[in-house]
Structure 1
Amino acid sequence: MRPILLTALLAFPLLTAAAKPQAELVQIAKAVQQDRLKATITRLVGFGTRHTLSDRTSATRGIGAAERWTAAQFEAISKDCGGCLTVAVPKQTFTGRRVPNPTEIGAILAIQKGTTDPDRVIVISGHIDSRVTDVMNATADAPGANDDGSGTAAVIEAARVLSKHRFPATLVFAVLEGEEQGLYGGKVLAAYAKEHGWKVEADLNNDIVGNTHGANGVHNDTQVRVFSEGTKAVETPDQANGRRYNGGEVDSPSRNLARFADGLAETYLKGLDVVMVYRTDRYGRGGDQVEMLNAGYPAIRVTEAVEHYDRQHQDLRTENGRLYGDTIEGVDFPYLAKVTQLNVVMMAALARAPAPPEDVKIEGAVSADTKVSWTAVPGAAGYRVHWRETTAPRWQHSKATTATSEVLKNIVIDDWFFGVSAISADGYESPVVFPGAAGSFSVTK
């Protein structure tokens, strides 16, 4: 143990234990039903193909039928909760390399307005479109059971479960089109958020979250990967210079959302561990969270621990006794239920907690102590100052306070990374915010 850390331990107690579980979050996790997830994916597969360029007028086949069915599911959930959801299907017309002709592409949204802080927005998303080997083949059967029927099912189930509760912040359940053709649904969602002045605190993008058997024969139903960007996509040159010198490469708001998810999984989920991956997405690949990041919003990608590439972007066929295609047989529904539980617990925890602190600053050059300060957060009963070694992946130490600044005696600013979270009167805690522009959750910072 470092002598400096020993000195700190003698100065005051370090609060490192996991928070006491919240009864409401336990209840919310238990409410997820794998039978409903299976019913949703069965129905989605039944549309034959959900390719973005497929039929939009048929009542039974293609992306149009799937879009209308999804909107109807959200309407039914809203009716069951007394009209608590507003359903919207914003669209934009796109052309591009994979969309050769002008095509309307949409985002199917169910919006649960917050009770006291409605401008704060927590989003869960998944994409409804599917494809086969040829990304331009809009007529062949493309079941898309796992990619991304699993993510769509998680979004719809999250809406059903969370609509039974009321939260200070707004929840948005987003089913997106056009992902396989160029992340177009993510563009529509980001534009809608900007247009409506949303303060998006988190986008939890679920893409390929139901399979547990890897192409290499590995079986893993106990882990889920959470991908998060390291430095902000919207970082300015001046901000980049400051971050390169003082740190922050692994402390974007998205990265601290991943740490937040990791902590919740340890507390509330049995048999599911979050594996944080320090990348925006899988190597050379992407998802709709990228467009939210490009708009300046914190976002993570949730993806199964192992992928089976015979079941992704493949024509339905059998070759040399080997099955190809994204069929429902490749979905592990108990596993998908656990991943959905992670999502609903995270959304509820974020929506119950105060907003992440703003204007977090640190001072202490040529000093034995470090001062951390921030702006008061509405609804916060207290705060927690966090610090960790610069090579540690998770926050190691913390100190609670009711003030908006704290002097950490004998904690030298040069040797640690720092952050602050806000805590409600009933114990819900925001994600940790790293000082300066690198860690700010606000798109204006």
Structure 2
Amino acid sequence: MSISKMPILTIPIATFTPSKRAMTYLPLAVASLFVSHFALANPISYHDQAKLHHIAKAVSAERIEHDIQALVNFGTRHTLSETKSDTRGIGAARRWIKAEFEKISTQCGGCLEVIEVKETISGEKRIPNATEVVNIIAIQRGSIEPNRMVMMSGDIDSRVSDVMDFISDAPGANDNASGIAGTLEAARVLSQYKFNGSIVYAALSGEEQGLFGGKILAQYAKQQGWRVHGVLNNDMIGNVTGINGVTDNTTARLFSEGTRVIETPEQARVRRFTGGEVDSASRNLARYIDTIADRYIPNLDTLLVYRLDRFGRGGHHRPFNDAGFAAIRIMETNEHYDRQHQDLRTENGVVYGDTIDGVDFDYAAKLTALNAVSMASMAWAPAPPQTVKISGAVSASTSFTWQASDDPSIVGYRIYWRYTSEPQWQFSRDVGKVTAATLENIVIDNYTFGVAAVSKDGFESPVVFPGDVGAFEYPHP
């Protein structure tokens, strides 16, 4: 068995050095035992995945630029805009997106199921009259667990200052043609591979009018019985210069909610005594992607933001959170508000509007690569362990159990733990292909714990915090 610090999971005895914090209160003799016991060879060591490096490099900034320009050329993509024209409005935009997915599918021998998931909405503040809200969805089915999903989404629609103005030009280059272009590009790259689990590429409508596209797809996913283990919502992934004067193409934000909004009073009572406020499935999805960024995306530091979204604001991952799914928002770090939700104009020398000259295509490609590599890793990895339970109160050791899986790719499981004040997993131990394990002399009171599944090829699932709060397949009451 071994203990390690993320992201490097195998520590040779000769190079193992416990952190100062870990050793501060250990007498020298105990420290020696600590090293010799935990630095043994790890039977499931982390393998650097060459395929993931190839996927990251395959993402094209030029193709992303082409797609953003094509979307901008539709003039406006407002949810209430023209649907009959072939050159203007949201109808033309979504038909173009569907044609692009179909072209990608043709090139990979029909590997994508391209469908429309839609509903007519009316009587809403921002959709007063009957309007068909249409999502364009492409599904790349997995070979082992076709109903296990990881999803990348972007928003089709755009807007200007008046959210009800569906006539004026609303280029929406960064918000959110960048997210749609990234989703299309991820499909182009990943469609060249076959995965164990399924990948969903989603172009959602109705975001600016009330997150309706996400609500429609989340409901559809539940009706279809999809096991959605991660929604990566990309909303504005192309701007590098903020209104704060900072220009930065080396960071991105990962927004994730804490406890589920649909948590029951009994689940909240249990959580109060066992913890987990920062270990929801969404938070551990964000940690997983943060680790992927460190390993596979050069010059990108992802920031774990412990909030559903930007302060007081919202995005299309929220309807999936509302349905109990793990979902996060991936976006640029520095926003430029003069380029968001603005009429095209110049006032007092200040240029307003979300035009394509405000998009950095290399940066959009970098964040697209993060999505593609993260989804590939999850789709090649086993599903996150289910029904993870923990015990060890008033004990020197901490014990775990989890549900057995019939996934033939699983070679074993890895237990993680960290100090409760730390944002990322610090230590790990491999326990083999079992459904129960005990960490001897690791006291439950002092750490936060989780369990991940590992495949024969070394791909690893997100870490699952024990109990309902951390479950990736939410136990609805």
TM-score (norm 2): 0.91
Match in the other structure for 1:29: 56
Please state whether the residue corresponding to 1:126 is helix, strand or coil.
strand
Does 2:119 align with 1:92?
A: yes
* Distance in 2, Cα, partners of 1:122 & 1:354: 12
Q: Which residue of 1 aligns with 2:305?
A: 277
Q: How does 1:136-147 map to 2 (within 5 A)?
A: 136-147=164-175
Structure 1 residue 225 corresponds to structure 2 residue 253: yes
Query: Equivalent residue for 2:6?
Result: none
**d(CA) in 1 for partners of 2:36 and 2:208?**
55
Which of the numbers 54, 59, 69 marks the counterpart of 2:81?
Answer: 54
Report the Cα offset of residue 366 of structure 1: 1.0
| CA distance in 1: counterparts of 2:465 and 2:37, whole angstroms | 23
Q: CA deviation at 1:376?
A: 2.3
Deviation at 1:35, TM superposition (A): 0.4
Q: Output the amino acid matched with 1:411.
A: I
Q: CA RMSD in A?
A: 1.5
2:45 and 2:458 in contact (8 A); partners too = no
Corresponding residue for 2:465? Answer: 434
Paired residue secondary structure (1:384): strand
Tell me the residue number matched to 2:203: 175
Following superposition, the deviation at residue 10 of structure 1 comes to: 4.5
Q: 2:415 aligns with which of 367, 371, 385?
A: 385
Q: For 1:267 and 1:43, locate their aligned partners in 2 and report how far apart those are by CA, in whole Å.
A: 33
CA contact (8 A) 1:367 1:412 kept: yes
Structure 2 residue 280 is matched with structure 1 residue 237 = no
Distance 1:186 1:213 in 2: 28
How many residues are paired up? 444
Offset, 1:443:
2.3
Q: 1:385 & 1:404 partners in 2: Cα distance?
A: 12
Q: Distance in 2 between matches of 1:90 and 1:398?
A: 41
C-alpha distance in structure 1 between counterparts of 2:48 and 2:455, whole Å: 14
Q: Which amino acid aligns with 2:86?
A: A
Contact 2:468 2:474 survives alignment (8 Å): no
Aligned mates of 2:39, 2:404 — CA distance in 1: 24
8 Å CA contact 1:228–1:300 kept in 2: the answer is: yes
- Structure 1 counterpart of 2:181: 153
**What is residue 37 of structure 2 aligned with on the other side?**
11
Point out the more displaced range, 386-395 or 44-53. Answer: 386-395
Show the counterpart of 1:313: 341
Counterpart of 1:398, as a letter, is: S
| Alignment-mate amino acid for residue 183 of structure 1 | L
1:128 maps to what in 2? 156
CA drift of 1:18 comes to 9.3
Residues 32-431 of structure 1 aligned to structure 2 (within 5 Å): 32-95=59-122, 96-377=124-405, 378=407, 379-402=409-432, 403-431=434-462
CA distance in 2, matches of 1:72, 1:417: 47
Give the letter for the 2:207 counterpart.
E
- 1:8 and 1:409 in contact (8 A); partners too: no
CA contact (8 A) 1:254 1:299 kept: yes
List gaps (5 residues or longer) in structure 2: 1-22
- Native 8 Å contact 1:13 1:399 kept in 2: no
Q: 3-state DSSP class of the match of 1:165?
A: coil
In the alignment, the residues of structure 2 paired with residue 444 and residue 437 of structure 1 have an alpha-carbon distance, to the nearest angstrom, of 7
Preserved CA contact (<8 Å) 2:410 2:456: yes
Distance 1:418 1:225 in 2: 24
Q: Secondary structure at the match of 1:411?
A: coil
Distance 2:225 2:436 in 1: 30
Instruction: Provide the C-alpha distance between the structure 2 equivalents of 1:137 and 1:444, rounded to a whole number of angstroms.
Output: 42
Structure-2 separation of matches of 1:216 and 1:279: 21
- Identity across matched positions, percent: 55
- TM-score, normalized by length of structure 1? 0.97
Counterpart of 1:26, as a letter, is H
Instruction: Summarize deviations over 1:372-425 as a string: whole Å, max 9, x none.
Output: 221223231111001111111111100011122221111111111110000000
Letter in 2 for 1:30: K
Gaps of 5+ in 1: none
Q: CA deviation at 1:19?
A: 3.4
